[in-house]
Amino acid sequence: MRKEEKLLLQNFIPPFLFVALLWIIKGLEIYYHLNFSKYGLLPRNVDALTGVITFPFIHGDWDHLISNSAGLLVLGFLLFTFHREIAYRVVAQIWLLHGLWLWLGGRTTYHIGASGIIYGLASFLFFTGVFKKEKSTMTISLLVVFLYGSMVWGLMPFLQGISWEGHLFGGAAGLLMAWYYRNTGVQKPVYDWEKEEEEHEEEYWNLDVEENKPIEENKPSTSVHYIYKPNSTDHDVKN
């Protein structure tokens, strides 16, 4: 196996293991006739505060799980491929942040599912390209729009049976993380001619603080002297 293929496989393993865990949990719930909805997130209920951690593991049915699995695999793979050095932190922070926001501001009903994390990952990948303006990250931004642009409909409050608040808070958490990590990882290259322009601008705007005017060094001073020679017709003016 070539090095590139091995690296791609390594980037796929973390989201795959997470999705596999979700399927195991759903399988146990079905096999043993259990209902794990009680481990969801119930906003403003202190006894259910642990749901901030557990609610992404719980899914209502197989369709719900299959839909979320595809998004987690694709977006998770992109995250670990292009932002591996911060990938785990980004996932953890989106997870906790949007969960806390949902606990504070969500409707008083049980919220379950990992779709909020999916919205957070999509938002992070998109806005990272917007903030960095670097070729590869902007390409990922366009890819996310192409694949998941329709996700915006999941933010509409009139849709029934979905946690649109979870989607909204997840997207907001992803945006915040994209801004927070905008100076990490790959950056837009700065060319020599851009550096020279910046240096010239700094020299031009290097003002003397006391005099509030450009500093002029080694410039000879120039003075003008006027010599007045009166004509014979000139007279003093008196009042």
Domain CATH for 149: 1.20.1540.10
Residue 201 located in a structural domain: no
Question: Tokens 């606990």 sit at which residue?
Answer: 103
How many of the other CB atoms lie within 10 Å of CB of 145?
A: 16
Per-residue pLDDT at 235: 46
Is residue 220 very low, low, confident or very high in pLDDT (cuts 50, 70, 90)? low
Say if residue 120's pLDDT is above 60. yes
**24 is written with which tokens?**
């195991």
Report pLDDT digits (tens) over 137-185: 888 889 898 888 888 888 888 777 889 999 999 999 999 999 999 998 6
Does 101 or 205 have the greater pLDDT score? 101
Beta bridge partners of 214: 207
Number of domains in the chain: 1
Residue 29 located in a structural domain: yes
Instruction: Kindly report the length of the chain.
Output: 239
Residue 214 located in a structural domain: no
Residue 217 located in a structural domain: no
Residue 27 located in a structural domain: yes
The fraction of the chain above a pLDDT of 90, given in percent, is 59
Least confidently predicted of 25-29, 43-47, 156-160, 231-235: 231-235
This prediction has a pTM of 0.77
Residue 187 located in a structural domain: no
Say if residue 212's pLDDT is above 80. no
Tell me if 146 sits within 8 A of 91, measured CB to CB: no
Residue 152 located in a structural domain: yes
Taken in order 87, 21, 12, 60, is the CA torsion positive or negative? negative
Residue 231, phi then psi, degrees to nearest 5: -85, 165
Contacts of 135 (CB under 8 A, 6+ apart): 188
Is residue 40 very low, low, confident or very high in pLDDT (cuts 50, 70, 90)? very high
Residue 224, phi then psi, degrees to nearest 5: -120, 130
Domain that holds residue 38: 3-180
